[in-house]
Structure 1
Amino acid sequence: MDDPILTAVAVALSTRAVEGLTDAAREALASVMRLVRRKAAEHRALRAALTAEPTSGGSDDRAVGLHRALVDAADRDPDFDQELRRRWETFHQTTVRADAVTNTVSGQVTGPVVQARDISGGVHVGLPAQQHPRQ
């Protein structure tokens, strides 16, 4: 089952992306991390996923492993699941503004990705058109 909240938590924790967050958002994410670390003390797979180093392919593999471990921990402990979701919602609320745009890319990406909010004009993704020599 693909749970978007646990997926978002896994991606946020595996990328450790805090750049650009407000102090409130940074503290809310730290609260999520503290909860997950406490759970990892008793959950071997979660502990292993948290300490895993990203491979050369990027953080996707780490996020997938962390997601699986979070799903397992949440399935085994409904109180942890509920508290994790509550803390994630607190984090999410500190990062959402009426004019905000959230761009997320997950999984293995093999082609171009464009993330944008407002675009004036066109967007071309791909190789430039071949120019034919004039005769």
Structure 2
Amino acid sequence: MDETALALVTAAITSLITGATGEAGKGAWTSLVAMVKKTFGKKGEQEPPLELVEAVKVEDRDVIELSEILVERAGQDAEFASELSAWLKDVKVLAKSDGPTNVVAGNARITGPLIQGRDFSGPISFGAPPPGAS
């Protein structure tokens, strides 16, 4: 599975469910649901992705699981991959207009402090100042 694509899809979905995309994010969510219904709602397809989309929106859970399903399907279905890519571009534009969306996802292991944000200026330090610093 493409880890970069997984991180991008996870970040996009997270930005929508956390409200980082503002009011315009509702339209992006609706288009995600329509895309999933179109792709996974075909005759003979399993329905869990549709249920998972609703669970993610309502309960703010299973974002990575949903992202994995979407990325896996994109690797198997060129038409869906194209639709997902276009959707990601739209969500990225929305998220940029409202600020940063930071995501730690996948198999990331954080062993120390983590700062996520945008437009930092000046020094950032953790713990006691180094010897000789005033």
Secondary structure of the residue aligned to 1:119 is coil
* Cα separation, 2, equivalents of 1:4 and 1:46: 24
Determine if contact 2:10/2:63 at 8 Å carries over to the other structure: yes
Q: Which residue in the other structure is 2:86 paired with? A: 86
Give the superposition deviation at 1:66: 2.6
* Cα separation, 2, equivalents of 1:86 and 1:50: 21
Bigger RCO of structures 1 and 2 (CA < 8 A, at least 6 apart): 2
Map 1:12-91 onto structure 2 (within 5 A): 12-13=12-13, 17-42=17-42, 43-44=45-46, 47=49, 50=52, 62-91=62-91
- TM-score w.r.t. the length of structure 1 is 0.60
Give the gaps of 5 or more residues in structure 2. Answer: 130-134
Give the gaps of 5 or more residues in structure 1. Answer: 130-135
- Larger helix share, 1 or 2: 2
For residues 48-107 of structure 1, the C-alpha deviation after alignment (integer angstroms, 9 at most, x for no partner) is 8826979xxx95xx344333322332233221211121122122222324x954433223
* Cα separation, 1, equivalents of 2:50 and 2:79: 21
How many residue pairs align between the two structures?
Answer: 122
Structure showing greater radius of gyration is 1
Secondary structure of the residue aligned to 2:17 is coil
* Cα separation, 1, equivalents of 2:51 and 2:114: 27
CA RMSD of aligned residues (A): 3.7
Q: Decide whether aligned partners of structure 1 residues 38 and 27 sit closer, same or farther in structure 2, where only a CA change above 3 A counts.
A: same
Q: Share of identical aligned residues, percent?
A: 25
- TM-score w.r.t. the length of structure 2 is 0.61
